[in-house]
């Protein structure tokens, strides 16, 4: 791991780092905020997965999470959304597929399978690296994310109930198998067998028996993608049918942007803190 930059913030350190990834076969960058803490202490960690077109930089610059993380003593980690580099296949002029749109899955179709292994990268390789390099208690992990990253947070959290104590999301793609963004990505990354799509679909996972203890979802009512792409109502209905304690909050007048995310970020961090420290 190499340090790209570090800066003092809220008594802690905001850093950006890079390393050679075996999972993606590329150099990957990620950001980490480590709050002030006593020497030798191990802190809970909150993973944040970003949305389409984003890198680690978007939430690092706009997420307004550091004050809340310093208050609650939580390390905040933000990986990139996909592999990048000259040798990585891409879909030119398609913002919702290819570079910047890894969908937090492990691709099985060529030419994507060699590099687009973002689920393995986030859950295994990066987790191990962060655990080695930072004062993290890996027995106390939470996960959150926005839009495509909200989809990633939900599906990774639902598939790993013993690892993540808390799961939240901002405007997640709740049922990607049923909406254009997900159908486009899944058909090309995973092939046409829709059974393979279900492990990357939060609604399908809950229908198949996934039972998180709790969920927290914030969704803006003025979000331009709400009806066609996000399927929040489907998630609410399936959680109600399954008896899952899901706080799905419709926030009046908010859109899909970081203005929305930053407004409720501290609330999410406080919610995670209660579950990560309990």
Question: CA distances (Å), 38 to each of 35, 42, 43, 75, 140, in order?
Answer: 10, 9, 10, 14, 17
Question: CA distances (Å), 28 to each of 2, 80, 140, 177, in order?
Answer: 11, 7, 24, 28
Alpha helices, H only, the chain: 56-62, 66-72, 118-120, 126-133, 148-159, 180-189, 202-207, 232-242, 258-277
Residue 67's nearest CA partner among 275, 272, 267 is: 267
Question: Are residues 172 and 154 in contact, defined by beta-carbon separation less than 8 angstroms?
Answer: yes
201 catalytic per annotation: no
Q: How far apart are CA 275 and CA 212, in angstroms?
A: 13
Question: CA distances (Å), 140 to each of 42, 87, 134, 161, in order?
Answer: 10, 36, 14, 12
Question: 143-158 burial string, b = 16+ CB within 10 Å, else e?
Answer: bbbbbbbbbbbbbbbb
147 catalytic per annotation: yes
Choosing from 223, 231, 268, 272, the catalytic residue is 223
Chain Cα centroid distance, residue 206? 18
Q: How far apart are CA 212 and CA 232, in angstroms?
A: 17
Choosing from 72, 115, 151, 256, the catalytic residue is 256
Choosing from 147, 166, 168, 231, the catalytic residue is 147
Residues assigned a catalytic role: 147, 223, 256
């Amino acid at each position: 791991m190499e340090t790209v930059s570090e800066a003092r913030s809220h008594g802690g350190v905001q850093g950006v780092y890079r390393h050679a990834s075996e999972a993606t076969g590329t150099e990957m960058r990620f950001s980490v905020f480590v709050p002030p803490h006593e020497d030798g202490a191990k802190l809970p960690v909150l993973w944040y997965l970003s949305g389409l077109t984003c890198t680690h930089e978007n939430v690092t610059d706009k997420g307004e999470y550091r004050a809340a993380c310093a208050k609650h003593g939580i390390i905040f980690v933000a990986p990139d959304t996909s592999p990048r580099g000259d040798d990585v296949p891409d879909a030119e002029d398609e913002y919702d597929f290819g570079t910047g749109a890894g969908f937090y899955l492990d691709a099985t179709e060529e030419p994507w399978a060699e590099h687009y292994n973002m689920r393995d990268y986030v859950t295994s390789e990066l987790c191990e690296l962060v655990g080695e390099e930072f004062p993290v208690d890996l027995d106390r992990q939470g996960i959150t994310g926005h839009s495509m990253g909200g989809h990633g947070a939900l599906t990774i959290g639902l598939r790993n109930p013993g690892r993540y104590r808390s799961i939240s999301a901002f405007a997640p793609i709740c049922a990607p198998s049923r909406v254009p963004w997900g159908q486009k990505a899944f058909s090309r990354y995973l092939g046409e067998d829709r059974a393979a799509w279900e492990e990357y679909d939060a609604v399908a996972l809950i229908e198949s028996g996934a039972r998180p203890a709790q969920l927290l979802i914030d969704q803006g009512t003025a979000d331009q993608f709400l009806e066609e792409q996000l399927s929040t109502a489907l998630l609410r209905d399936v959680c109600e049918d399954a008896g899952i304690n899901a706080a799905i909050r419709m926030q009046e007048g908010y859109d899909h942007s970081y203005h929305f995310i930053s407004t409720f970020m501290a609330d999410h961090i406080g919610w995670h803190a209660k579950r990560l420290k309990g």
